[in-house]
Amino acid sequence: MRLANKVTLITGGGTGLGLATAQMFHREGARVAICGRRADVLARASQSIGPGVLAFPCDVSQEGPVNDLVAAVVKAFGRLDILVHAAGVNLQREDITETTLDGFRKTFDINTTSVFLVGRAVVRAMTDGGAIVLIGSVVAEIGSHKRFAYSGSKAALIGLGRQMAVSLGGRDIRVNIVQPGMVHTEMTAGLLDGMKPETLDRMRKAYPLNRLGKPEDVAEACLFLASDAASWITGVALMVDGGLSAQ
């Protein structure tokens, strides 16, 4: 067991990459808490992950609820060792001219300000070292036609993560970033499910490893970075993208 008794909070743990990570961490012995906004989704997810999983409805862009969330996790489990911050949104498919100020702000509130709010509360609670994994995106590194606010919000996440890594090293808190390519989840279903087979095939072939990602590909990277196997790794932005960004 690579995470025996490690108390872990996974934001966005009710679906997609967060859920796959919660399932893997639970199998590796972690004591898991998940959060998201939809209580019904969280209830189903915690059932599917296994016994002892706690689910807390919370909007990660809201300061008070985030502080309450972290306090509730510490109260329930007695400590906090690991954060995987997977909560995120891709609200619009837009270029700069199509982006609304409201959409831009909401995207940054949920994808970027949440790194500050959740990160701050978690770091205050990590009294004995810890590991933080932030889920960014490959589009923080490469340009894209229709993800203006989303790409920017994920690029900012890298800066916040590196700043945390440097400033928290002395407390033995490691902070790393995982940057996935395209994986079929709730977030991408609308795009991928509506694609013609030949378009999907073109997308697949754009990846040197000749396939899109699976949620488990991302969960494995989070597991490595959160575990003691990565005990001398901090401030890294790891591409988990089938080689897309290497071209």
Active site residues: 150
Residue 35 C-beta: closest distance to ligand NAP, Å: 6
d(CA 109, CA 226): 25
Q: How far apart are the first and last CA of the chain?
A: 36
Q: With respect to ligand NAP, which residue has the nearer C-beta, 127 or 210?
A: 210
Beta strands in the chain (DSSP E): 7-11, 31-36, 54-57, 82-85, 130-135, 173-180, 237-240
Q: What angle do CA 32, 60, 117 make, to 5 degrees?
A: 100
Class of residue 205 by CB neighbours under 10 A (exposed 0-12, middle 13-18, buried 19+):
exposed
Least Cα distance to 45 among 68, 65, 18 occurs for: 18
Least Cα distance to 133 among 9, 7, 3 occurs for: 9
Both structure tokens of 239? 């591409």
Three-state DSSP state, 54: strand
Q: With respect to ligand NAP, which residue has the nearer C-beta, 63 or 172?
A: 63
CA dihedral sign of residues 236, 237, 240, 241: negative
Three-state DSSP state, 135: strand
Residue 47 C-beta: closest distance to ligand NAP, Å: 15
By the 8 A CB rule, do 60 and 66 touch? Answer: yes
Q: With respect to ligand NAP, which residue has the nearer C-beta, 65 or 235?
A: 65
Residue 228 C-beta: closest distance to ligand NAP, Å: 24
Residue 76 C-beta: closest distance to ligand NAP, Å: 18
Tell me which residues touch ligand NAP (CB under 6 A).
11-12, 14-18, 35-38, 41, 58-61, 86-89, 110, 135, 137, 180, 182-183, 185-188
Residue 232 C-beta: closest distance to ligand NAP, Å: 26
Q: With respect to ligand NAP, which residue has the nearer C-beta, 81 or 241?
A: 241
d(CA 60, CA 67): 9
Q: With respect to ligand NAP, which residue has the nearer C-beta, 74 or 110?
A: 110
